[in-house]
Amino acid sequence: MESDLFEQDHEDYREVAREFVRREVEPNLERWEEQRLVDRDVWAAAGKQGLLGLQVPEEYGGPGVDDFRFRVAACTEIVAVGAASLQSGFATNDDIVLGYLLGMATEEQKARWLPGFVTGETIGAIAMTEPGAGSDLRGIRTSARRDGDEWVIDGSKTFITNGILADLVVVVAQTDPEAGSRGFTLFVVETGTEGFRRGRKLDKVGLAAQDTAELFFDGVRVPDTQRLGEVGTGLQSLMANLPRERLGIAMSAQTTAEAILEWTLEHVTAREAFGKPLSALQTVSHTVAELRMKVEVSRAYFDRCVRELNAGTLTAVDAAKAKWWATEMQWQVVDAGVQLHGGYGYMNEYAVARAFRDARVQRIYGGSNEVMKEIVARDLTRAR
């Protein structure tokens, strides 16, 4: 897909990502799907190629590059081979967990945790969702009570991306039930901490290779030095990080839709029916023309949002629009792509079939698209 978003440095970085995908990802995709887990080794390999932790400052082992276009370049190559599960894991680290550590961690905490995000040795997770609290984070019941210089965490989380492999988990806990939105605080729980255990690896409709788990905290004690940010600022911190998180979901949706369109075009031009290529049939050619238009229009808005994120001006409302629009567009493209592949589109050996399963959750996580509509609607009525 043509875009003026990238400069030469981004194109060079994309070549590095393409080679990484060719060498480390494509040969292992089927095995990862079958074992329902991405090999941990691929994280270290990505770290060696400089594909992780770009925002980490030089003093903590990273390049200190805060330019989201590099993330877009790498994502484009990863999803081009249908590796949505891997992309989801990387995005959780770089576009979500890392943001909290960079923005809220003390110098000691940064020195302790950030280097591993660059090398791929540290995999992170964010534990927000609970069995009774999804998009409405104020419904969180996991609690943390102060006990001297420690905090005692009790509760459970579900649908946690990277939950099985995670070395550290940023946990959202209620610290003051009477304080409303000021009653939540973030803590970092490391693997091996007594009372912290992982439940089952959840069996999902799609993203089979992406580890998603239940997490349990039974009297987990963490020192106050593992509190992230000030007491009572948890929800405010979550809100502050949402623009990048939601743009990350839009990025995955946009680049995946572009890949699906390419696979579909290849199929309809190569596949023959009634003695001529499928693309010669007007109903097919008009369908792919419409898909191309939707993808290109979406790309224009996405590129604008990327530039605004880099400039520090992307609003939560515009990020919600991008997430909503791109994921809806992705679903339209993949649904049409399966249809135009015919019976082959329903076969698991075809990337478009896997993309169909993987795409469905995009309209749910990061805040359901119904919530995105509410955010946009409230902004409109406030403006009146």
- What average pLDDT score do residues 6-19 get? 97
pLDDT at 1: 67
Domains, the chain, in order of start with CATH, read 8-122 (1.10.540.10), 125-232 (2.40.110.10), 236-383 (1.20.140.10)
**Separation of alpha carbons 87 and 76, rounded Å:** 10
Section 98-126 average pLDDT: 97
Residue 375 has pLDDT above 90, yes or no: yes
384 has pLDDT over 80: no
Lowest mean pLDDT segment, chosen from 94-103, 178-187, 375-384: 375-384
pLDDT-derived band at 3 (thresholds 50, 70, 90) equals confident
% of the chain at pLDDT higher than 70: 98
Please answer whether residues 256 and 355 qualify as being in contact, where contact means their C-beta atoms are separated by less than 8 angstroms.
Answer: yes
- Of 84 and 131, the structure prediction assigns the larger pLDDT to 84
Q: What is the pLDDT of residue 383?
A: 61
Type of residue at 228:
L
Confidence of residue 83 (pLDDT cuts 50, 70, 90): very high
Tell me: pLDDT of 13 over 70: yes
The whole-number average pLDDT for the span 29-51 is 96
Query: Is the pLDDT reported for residue 2 higher than 80?
Result: no
> Of 206, 142, 199, 149, which is closest to residue 175 (Cα–Cα)?
142
pLDDT tens-place string over residues 57-76: 999 999 999 999 999 999 99
pTM for the model: 0.95
Helix H, strand E, coil C: the string for 64-122 is CCCCHHHHHHHHHHHHCCCCHHHHHHHHHHHHHHHHHHHHHCCHHHHHHHHHHHHHCCC
| pLDDT attached to residue 135 | 67
In this structure, how many other beta carbons lie within 10 angstroms of the beta carbon of residue 179? 12
**What is the per-residue pLDDT for 138?**
74
Residue-level pLDDT at 139: 80
Average pLDDT of the chain is: 95
Place 31 in a pLDDT band, splitting at 50, 70 and 90: very high
Residues with a known catalytic role? 245
Q: In the prediction, which pLDDT does 133 show?
A: 72
Backbone angles phi, psi at 3, to 5 degrees: -160, 145
